[in-house]
Structure 1
């Protein structure tokens, strides 16, 4: 995970294609998804990789589901919402990356179930994490 200050997160959300949050029963955030597009200025090496390799896309920059809310379908709901937004914007590809080192098998399995397939791999120069780039058609 690449932590952001509140100000940096607000700046990222301001240039995002989509920034959605689902509240839990207690009113606290239970899950959120922030997505960028090919029209967003480069926001780090992973988004930059997609800018270099695909002419148009919706890139999932951050998705978080609170531990107590996991397994309730919130991640799927956020991805379904983004798919609709991307289609409405005329986009045909969702894009993201998942860590290979350190491994994140839960995230990889989640994305595979949603139809994401490998598009490339790289090492993030900011933190040395090895990532697999994934895409899914809409």
Structure 2
């Protein structure tokens, strides 16, 4: 996929992206329209592709984000870009969209002089495809946590 097909999220994308997010709530977390709008407002980087068929939301260390995963990473890194959620609809899977989203984010994060990208990935319920994808991109697991919602997550970092 060419990076030219990636674009910033616009207001018209909101309904499709909220639906995409909530279709994958087990991996991402369910969002109400108000929660999703607030998340997008505080993000430092958002991208989509197609007709709202891909979503990447990233925040930097200065975000005021009440999230246990963000807090865990913020306690360990002074400066970072946190990938809060990434998902690609089945219609675009296997076309390199996720890799293109990450490459564009890495380029921007370097331009902002960040040293690393960070994220968490579900270990229970397992998300082996996401773990494998992130490992191919150079992410390494640096910790784990059991969350109040019953999930077990792994924390990952990718030096830039």
Q: TM-score, normalised by structure 2?
A: 0.80
State the distance in 2 between where 1:62 and 1:9 align.
11
- Is 1:92 the counterpart of 2:115 in the alignment? yes
Say whether residues 1:18 and 2:45 are aligned partners: yes
Aligned to 2:31: 4
Name the residue aligned to 1:57. 80
In the superposition, the TM-score normalised over structure 1's length comes to 0.93
For the 8 Å contact 1:42–1:51, the answer to whether it is kept is: no
**2:151 alignment partner in structure 1:** 129
Shift of 1:17: 1.2
After TM superposition, list the pairs within 5 Å mapping 1:37-56 onto structure 2.
Answer: 37-56=60-79
Distance 1:88 1:43 in 2: 26
Higher strand residue share: 1
Q: Say if 2:97 is the partner of 1:74.
A: yes
Structure that is richer in helix per residue: 2
Shift of 1:4: 0.6
Q: Which residue of 2 aligns with 1:31?
A: 54
Deviations 1:32-53 (A, max 9, x none): 1000110111331001111111
Cα RMSD, aligned residues only: 0.9
SS, match of residue 103 in structure 1? coil
Deviation for aligned residue 1:106: 0.4
* Length, aligned pairs only: 133
For 1:5 and 1:85, how far apart are their aligned partners in 2? 29
Indicate the residue corresponding to 2:10 in structure 1: none
Unaligned runs of 5+ in 1: none
Moved over 4 A (4+): none
